Amino acid sequence: MSVNWLKVTFIFLFTILLILVLSAYLSLFSLIQKSSLFSIITSTEFYRPLLFSLFSSTAATLLGGLFAIPSAYILSRYTFPGKDLAEGILYLPVLVPPLVSGLALLVLFSSPAGHWLAAQGIRFIFTPAGAVMAQFFIATPYALRTIKVSFNKVEQSLEEAATTLGDSPARVFTRITLPLAYKGILSGLLLAWARALGEFGATIMLAGTIARYSETMPVAIYLRFSTGEMETAVTMAAMMMLAALVILIVTRHFLTAD
């Protein structure tokens, strides 16, 4: 009986990768002291950045959905000069390091346009709004990609048939396209929310690392680690890992449910 060495090799590499990832994240829990766990997760140092992260990532996701849904529809349904270039530009925040994106945002909002916005009371540099902007900028492409794929799966013949019957473009979109693509839209928004929740690089560049002001959970973990509060940092990291796992499970449910 011949051995399928390709299968054996692939299973071996798969197992090594699985063990590495699982071991790395489980090691976080090994450093958590049960005796101090409750005091840490009920302290203001824990729940203040947690609540701000939940607020900022949700706001960034809602704002991202406002732009990602129509942008994904345009990329899915229309052809225009420079479409590939435009799509590539929209995906740049995924391809370049978040620190670079954060620096770009910092330079943008330090420009005359940024000064004009600041004069109108809209400030992003070293403010909580800056954290939302950074999260929105980084997370939106994740929603855009997933939602575009979902729109691609909707048969255009159904939209054309509804148009032939006299439905307006807005009615076709809301009554045909959105209901058929809703799983992908929800999945894209969940992925964007998870990415926004974990955003760090662009956030520290634009919003800074100001404790109790623009401090998200990733920033809080970094600050606690840099000041030697290892147990608090590890506890925060473990809670974020559990949140990410829940988001992943929910997203897969939306993608695979009938």
- pLDDT, tens digit (0-9, with 9 covering 90-100), for 106-121: 999 999 998 999 999 9
To the nearest whole number, what is the mean pLDDT of the chain?
A: 88
- pLDDT, tens digit (0-9, with 9 covering 90-100), for 149-176: 999 998 888 888 888 888 788 888 888 8
Distance separating alpha carbons of residues 109 and 119, to the nearest angstrom = 12
Question: pLDDT confidence of 89, banded at 50, 70, 90?
Answer: very high
Question: What per-residue confidence (pLDDT) applies to 258?
Answer: 56
H or E stretch covering 101: helix 98-109
Report phi then psi at 49, rounded to 5. Answer: -65, -30
Can you say whether residue 82 is alpha, beta or left, with left for phi > 0 and alpha for psi between -120 and 50 degrees? Answer: left
Question: What per-residue confidence (pLDDT) applies to 255?
Answer: 62
- pLDDT, tens digit (0-9, with 9 covering 90-100), for 23-50: 988 888 887 877 777 777 778 888 888 8
- pLDDT, tens digit (0-9, with 9 covering 90-100), for 184-220: 898 899 889 989 998 999 999 999 888 788 889 999 9
Question: pLDDT confidence of 85, banded at 50, 70, 90?
Answer: very high
**Any idea what the Cα angle at residue 209 is, between residues 194 and 111, rounded to 5°?**
90
Percent of the chain residues topping a pLDDT of 90 = 49
Lowest-pLDDT range of 1-15, 56-70, 159-173: 159-173
Burial 3-35 (b: 16+ CB within 10 A, else e): eeeeeeeeeeeeeeeeeeeeeeeeebeeebeee
Q: Judge whether 236 and 41 are in contact, CB under 8 Å.
A: no
Distance separating alpha carbons of residues 13 and 18, to the nearest angstrom = 9
Question: What per-residue confidence (pLDDT) applies to 101?
Answer: 95
Compute the Cα dihedral for 89, 90, 92, 95 and give only its sign: negative
